């Protein structure tokens, strides 16, 4: 769409607004990243605390045996189902991405024949987020 030419003052206001928005966006991103990684760090902390509590008391072979003994039949089945489910989901996802890659170009081409001024969403041709848009 065509836009009217802006005055220097208008551009300065717009620039200041965009800067403020970017700053707040980044603050939220930092907060969200901290929460995410805090969860992961906590899990590792639990594991390391458990290991350090046993340091010098047990051999590593005993620790492995302890883990294997704790993994009952139901736990083993849950692990297999969990890992299998995630693997299945990821393979379906890659199949979907391949499909998008195959079909999206054709759709865009046909739409551009009807509407030459067609605008695009700007995401990657396989439907994933562009590297440059990652916050």
Partner 1 sequence: MNFGNVFISSLSLLFLCILVFWLYRSFRADCFRDSMFELRDELFDDAVQERIGFDSAAYNLLRSTMNGSIRFAHCLSLTRFIVLSKTSRPVGLPTDELFSERFRKAMDELDEDQKQLVWDYLCRMNFLLIEHMTLSSPLLLALVLPFAISRAIKKRFLKSLMVKYETNLNRLDTALLTS
Residues contributing to the site for partner 1 (CB under 8 A): 1, 4, 6, 10, 13-14, 17, 20-21, 24-25, 27-29, 31-32, 35-36, 39-40, 42-44, 46-47, 50-51, 53-54, 58, 63, 66-71, 75, 82, 86, 89, 93, 111, 114-115, 117, 119-123, 127, 129-130, 133-135
Question: What gap in Å lies between CA 110 and CA 63, rounded to an integer?
Answer: 62
In terms of CB distance, is 17 or 91 closer to partner 1? Answer: 17
- Of 44 and 73, nearer to partner 1 (C-beta) is 44
Encoding tokens for residue 2?
Answer: 């065509």
Quote the least distance from Cβ 131 to partner 1, whole Å: 12
CA distance 8 to 130: 32
Handedness of CA 95, 100, 105, 107 (dihedral sign): positive
Give the tokens for residue 51: 């290991």
Question: Could you tell me the smallest distance in angstroms from the CB atom of residue 106 to partner 1?
Answer: 14
CA atoms of 6 and 125, how far apart (whole Å): 34
**Least distance from partner 1 to the Cβ atom of residue 80, Å:** 13
Cβ proximity to partner 1, 77 vs 111, nearer residue = 111
Alpha-carbon separation of residue 121 from 43, 47, 89, 108, 115 (angstroms): 38, 44, 26, 11, 15
């Amino acid at each position: 769409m065509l836009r009217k030419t802006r005055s220097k003052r208008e551009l300065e206001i717009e620039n200041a607004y965009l800067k403020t928005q970017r700053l707040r966006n980044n603050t939220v991103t930092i907060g969200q990243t901290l929460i995410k990684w805090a969860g992961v760090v906590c899990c590792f902390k639990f594991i390391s605390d458990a290991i350090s509590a046993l340091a010098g008391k047990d051999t590593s072979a005993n620790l492995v045996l302890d883990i294997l003994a704790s993994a009952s039949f139901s736990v083993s089945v849950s692990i297999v189902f969990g890992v299998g489910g995630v693997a299945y989901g990821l393979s379906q996802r890659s199949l979907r991405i391949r499909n998008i890659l195959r079909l999206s170009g054709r759709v865009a081409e046909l739409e551009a024949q009807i509407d030459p001024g067609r605008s695009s969403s700007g995401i990657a041709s396989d439907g994933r987020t562009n590297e440059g848009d990652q916050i």
